A and B are shown apart, each in its own frame.
Chain A
Amino acid sequence: MPSRQQLGNLLLIAPLTVFLLLMVMVPLVIAVLSSFGLTQVAPGLPGEFTLQGYRDFFDPSKPSLTALWFTFKVTLITTVISTSLGLGLALFMHFRGIPLNGPLSFLVKIPLFMPYLVTAFVFWVLLYPKGYIGIIFKIIFVEYFRLMEEAPSLVSDPFGIGIIVCGSWTRFPYAFIIIHGLMQMLDPSLEEAARTLGARTGLIIRRIYLPLLGYGILSVILLNFLALFIAFSIPFVLGASWPQFLSVFVYVNAKDQGNWLAGYTTSVVYICVALSIAYFYTRALARARKHA
Chain B
Amino acid sequence: MPNRQHSQLVNWLVLGLLAWLILFPVLVVFLYAFATKWFPSHWWWPQEFGLRWFERILTSPNILSAMINSYLIATVATLATLAITFPAAYVFGARTQGGSGRFIQLVEGFSNIPLAFPTITVGIALLPFYSKLGLLSSFPGVVLAHMIMAVPYALRAMVSSFLMVPPEYEEAARNLGASRALILRRIYLPLVWPGIMAGGIFAFSWSLNEFVLILLLGYPKIETIPVQVYQFVGGYYLHPQQAATLGLFLLVPTLALMLFVERTVKSSAVVPAGG
Contacts and interface: CB of A to CB of B under 8 A. Distances in A.
A250 B91 contact: no
A66 interface: no
A112 B28 contact: no
Interface string B178-218: 00100000000000000000000000010011011000100
Interface string B103-134: 11001001101111111111011111101100
B23 interface: yes
A106 B257 CA distance: 12
Nearest to B206: A115
A96 B247 CA distance: 37
Given A9-B100, A27-B125, A132-B28, A270 B88 contact: no
Contacts of A98: 11, 15
Contacts, number: 244
B25 A122 contact: yes
A109 B263 CA distance: 13
A124 B125 CA distance: 30
B87 A125 contact: no
A108 B18 CA distance: 8
Nearest to B114: A24
A15 interface: yes
B142 interface: no
A32 B74 CA distance: 30
A41 B131 CA distance: 9
A70 B255 CA distance: 32
B42 to A, nearest CB: 11
Given A115-B251, A132-B28, A254 B274 contact: no
Nearest to A282: B112
A233 B19 CA distance: 25
B147 A232 contact: no
A210 interface: no
Nearest to A277: B116
A247 B118 contact: yes
A117 B209 contact: yes
Interface stretch (A146-154, A184-192, A199-207, A223-231): A223-231
Given A16-B151, A107-B22, A237 B233 contact: yes
Contact of B240 (A30, A125, A230): A125
A121 B118 contact: no
B67 interface: no
Residue among B28, B107, B119, B128 with most chain A CB within 10 A = B128
Bin chain B's interface residue count: 35 or more
B259 interface: yes
Interface string A207-240: 0000000000000000000110111110011000
B157 interface: no
A119 B209 CA distance: 11
Contacts of A106: 258-259, 262
A101 B25 CA distance: 22
Residue among A177, A230, A233, A268 with most chain B CB within 10 A = A233
B69 to A, nearest CB: 15
B262 A109 contact: yes
A26 interface: yes
Interface string A229-271: 1111100110000000011001100110000000110011011
A113 B124 contact: no
Interface in B14-51: 14-15, 18-19, 21-23, 25-26, 28-29, 32, 40, 43-44
Contact of B180 (A8, A122, A177, A254): A8
29 contacts: A9-B100, A13-B92, A19-B147, A20-B151, A23-B144, A27-B125, A27-B129, A28-B125, A30-B128, A41-B129, A41-B131, A104-B15, A106-B258, A107-B19, A108-B22, A110-B23, A112-B270, A114-B25, A116-B209, A118-B29, A118-B250, A229-B118, A230-B119, A230-B275, A233-B226, A251-B216, A263-B124, A267-B120, A267-B125
What 10 A-B pairs are tightest by C-beta distance, nearest first? A41-B128, A27-B125, A278-B116, A230-B118, A115-B209, A267-B121, A12-B87, A31-B125, A16-B88, A15-B84
Given A114-B25, A115-B209, 9 more contacts: A6-B101, A12-B88, A13-B88, A13-B92, A16-B87, A20-B107, A42-B127, A124-B240, A177-B270
